[in-house]
Chains A and B, each alone.
Chain A
Amino acid sequence: MRRLLRRNPIVRELARSRIAQISAVITLAYVILAVLGPQLAPYDPTAMLTLPRQSPSAEHWFGTDEIGRDIFSRMLISARVAMTVGFVAVGIGLVVGGLMGVVAGFYQGWLDSVIMRIIDVLLAFPGILLALAVITFLGPGLVNTMIAIGIGGIPGYARLVRGEVLSLIERDHVTAARSLGANNMRLMAKHLFPLLVSSLLVYSTAQLARAILAEAGLSYLGLGVQPPDPSWGGMISSGQRFFLTAPYMAIYPGTAIMVLVFALNLLGDALRDALNPALRRSGG
């Protein structure tokens, strides 16, 4: 098993990069905190326990918020919320956008034109605007936030996959498989998809960072995760009101987002370098 892993060029490249290791460890730590959050949290994140806005202490490591809830517990549950929204939103973009891209690139012709026009329309709404339009339509809330951010991810995936498929389809091994009588489904699943995995992995890491930032932004605006459920964005929003007397209320969750997104971006860069040695040498 070890030898198998070592022979994998990606693993080998990643093992060489200290930066990749550090960012992977940070990301993994967040994933573990997100999974175990409810078990680790010392208090109920929505319970009003004590006096409001207490400074950090032995009992409340990160202090208490504006109505006396334990900030540390709320941070842990927020990690879970951010991760869930991130992964589900990326999943929506990956599956829907990826399928649209494969179909467009593989069949080409009018199907390609129709799909790409739809993508162009989605691309006309920059960044968070598309999510805001979807939220207007669906209303705020955890599930709708995932859908809204997920839809925003569709065009990127569709374009990426379509471009890759268009270039891969000309390759000899695809022509060979086709002439041996492989049907379309088999071609896509066996001969195209495996070659897409690496670029999808790199892109998805960056997309996860984007989705987590978007969730924080929407929740900050009050259009994402709704109170009393905790979210880093929501905590920053309520902490803002006590910025002069209790700045930690906003600084803890803000730092948590920043470190996670930084690690994810770093990991994405490292993965890209590992998967594309040619790009690495030119430094891309």
Chain B
Amino acid sequence: MLVFLVKRLAELIPVLFGVLLVTFAVTRFTPGDPAVFLAGEDADQALIEATRERLGLDRSIPTQFAFYVGNALQGDLGRSYSRNVPVTELIGRALVPTAKLAAIAMAITIFFGIPLGVVSAVRPDGPLDLAARVIALLGVSVPNFFFGLLLILLFSLQLGLLPSFGAGSWRHLILPGITLGTFSVGLIARLTRASMLDVLSQDYVRTARAKGLSGMTVVYKHGLRNAAIAIVTILGLNLGSLLSGSVLTEVVFAYPGIGRLVVDAIFDRDYALVQGTILVIALIYVLVNLLVDMLYAVVDPRIRVT
């Protein structure tokens, strides 16, 4: 197990280096001079030069990259040009709301996605299966920002039940949570169905049925338990689609999370903030992947060998 962990961690180093390189390149090679941008268009030459020196922009590109990596490793992602606060502070403030949203969406995914897939797999091609498959397919086909707007139209504008934007109370989380969860519900339902069908076609399931166990016992004890490994992995990886989906969801609901922070930063041309937010999201995603891998190895010892 320790060997496996060390190996996975070692594999992570080039990936993290690459992620740093990409985020550095995205902002360093963008058109326009950040020093001019920061000092202001009509600033005099001396001020621009001073700003350039302060940001280290007068050094060579490799030196700048080395500084960037060094600072990032110490948890310093620079200052936001547009808000004049450390980038890490802004990200820290935005991460909590996004985590809440992702948690709600994940709960919705588990409570609706998995049962939908199981119902589907019990009697393939039956009426329940067809209905569940259509729902799952709709979930992955509707653009989530559009679905969010429809929810606002119904629950906020027509019925006046829930707030349509902002954050603060648990009521603010319901509509964006559903919006963010919809795609994952569809995705997980489809994958649960596939892995359940796979497991239910195995010999030991036939044996279980042959020895007279009831249909429900077979489906839950033999089927779902064995399909669970695949489903748990997918749920972990699903965090990627939640992080990515949070960008559009948060914009629709004007929700103060990290997804909206990225978009605002891009519009403000606040490159340090763009760099920092994208870096942190990628980091979270990579670490969650690692965690899922580890969990998988704990649950299924066969994985450790390969």
CB contacts (< 8 Å) of A283 on chain B: these are 121, 124-125, 193-194, 197
21 contacts between A and B (CB under 8 A): A117-B18, A120-B11, A121-B14, A126-B241, A126-B282, A126-B285, A127-B243, A127-B244, A129-B243, A132-B262, A136-B266, A136-B271, A136-B274, A220-B248, A240-B149, A254-B142, A258-B142, A262-B137, A262-B141, A283-B193, A283-B197
A13, chain B: closest CB distance, angstroms = 15
Taking A137-B26, A221-B248, A223-B263 as contacts, is the C-beta distance between A258 and B146 under 8 angstroms? Answer: yes
- CB–CB A217/B30 < 8 A: no
- CB–CB A117/B14 < 8 A: yes
A82, chain B: closest CB distance, angstroms = 11
Residue of A nearest to B274 (CB): A136
CB contacts (< 8 Å) of B274 on chain A: these are 133, 136
- CB–CB B140/A137 < 8 A: no
Confirm or deny: B245 has a beta carbon within 8 angstroms of a beta carbon on chain A: yes
Confirm or deny: B166 has a beta carbon within 8 angstroms of a beta carbon on chain A: no
A159, chain B: closest CB distance, angstroms = 13
Stretch at the interface among A31-39, A51-59, A89-97, A243-251: A243-251
Taking A236-B146, A254-B149 as contacts, is the C-beta distance between A129 and B247 under 8 angstroms? Answer: yes
- CB–CB A258/B143 < 8 A: yes
B145, chain A: closest CB distance, angstroms = 5
**Chain A residues proximal to chain B, CB less than 8 Å:** 117-118, 120-121, 124-129, 132-137, 139, 209, 213, 216-217, 220-223, 233, 236, 240, 243-244, 247, 250-251, 254, 257-258, 261-262, 265-266, 269, 282-284
Residue of B nearest to A127 (CB): B244
- CB–CB A126/B22 < 8 A: no
CB contacts (< 8 Å) of A133 on chain B: these are 22-23, 26, 274, 278
Interface residues of B in 216-261 (CB under 8 A from A): 240-241, 243-245, 247-248, 251
CB contacts (< 8 Å) of A139 on chain B: these are 31
- CB–CB B286/A124 < 8 A: yes
Binary flags per residue of B192-205, CB closer than 8 Å to A gives 1, else 0: 01100110010000
Confirm or deny: B170 has a beta carbon within 8 angstroms of a beta carbon on chain A: no
Cα distance A133–B138 when bound, in Å?
28
Cα distance A118–B14 when bound, in Å?
9
A263, chain B: closest CB distance, angstroms = 9
A-B Cβ contacts below 8 A, count: 142
- CB–CB A135/B266 < 8 A: yes
Cα distance A120–B150 when bound, in Å?
36
CB contacts (< 8 Å) of A217 on chain B: these are 143, 145, 247-248
- CB–CB B137/A265 < 8 A: yes
B122, chain A: closest CB distance, angstroms = 11
Residue from A134, A222, A250, A284 with most neighbouring chain B CB atoms (10 Å): A284
B267, chain A: closest CB distance, angstroms = 8
CB contacts (< 8 Å) of B125 on chain A: these are 283
Confirm or deny: B152 has a beta carbon within 8 angstroms of a beta carbon on chain A: yes
CB contacts (< 8 Å) of A124 on chain B: these are 15, 18-19, 282, 285-286
CB contacts (< 8 Å) of A251 on chain B: these are 150
Taking A125-B278, A223-B263, A266-B137 as contacts, is the C-beta distance between A250 and B244 under 8 angstroms? Answer: no
CB contacts (< 8 Å) of B197 on chain A: these are 282-284
Taking A120-B18, A121-B22, A132-B247 as contacts, is the C-beta distance between A127 and B140 under 8 angstroms? Answer: no
- CB–CB B31/A265 < 8 A: no
Confirm or deny: B1 has a beta carbon within 8 angstroms of a beta carbon on chain A: no
CB contacts (< 8 Å) of B267 on chain A: these are 222
- CB–CB B143/A216 < 8 A: yes
Confirm or deny: B153 has a beta carbon within 8 angstroms of a beta carbon on chain A: yes
- CB–CB A128/B248 < 8 A: yes
Interface residues of B in 284-303 (CB under 8 A from A): 285-286
Taking A126-B240, A133-B26, A247-B153 as contacts, is the C-beta distance between A254 and B143 under 8 angstroms? Answer: yes
Taking A129-B244, A243-B157, A284-B194 as contacts, is the C-beta distance between A137 and B30 under 8 angstroms? Answer: yes
Taking A117-B14, A129-B244, A132-B262 as contacts, is the C-beta distance between A284 and B146 under 8 angstroms? Answer: no
Cα distance A251–B153 when bound, in Å?
11
- CB–CB B281/A126 < 8 A: yes
- CB–CB B157/A129 < 8 A: no
Add 5 more A-B contacts to A124-B15, A136-B30, A283-B197 (CB < 8 A). Answer: A126-B240, A127-B243, A129-B247, A282-B201, A284-B194
CB contacts (< 8 Å) of B29 on chain A: these are 137
Confirm or deny: B25 has a beta carbon within 8 angstroms of a beta carbon on chain A: yes
Cα distance A199–B58 when bound, in Å?
50
- CB–CB B149/A236 < 8 A: yes
Residue of B nearest to A210 (CB): B140
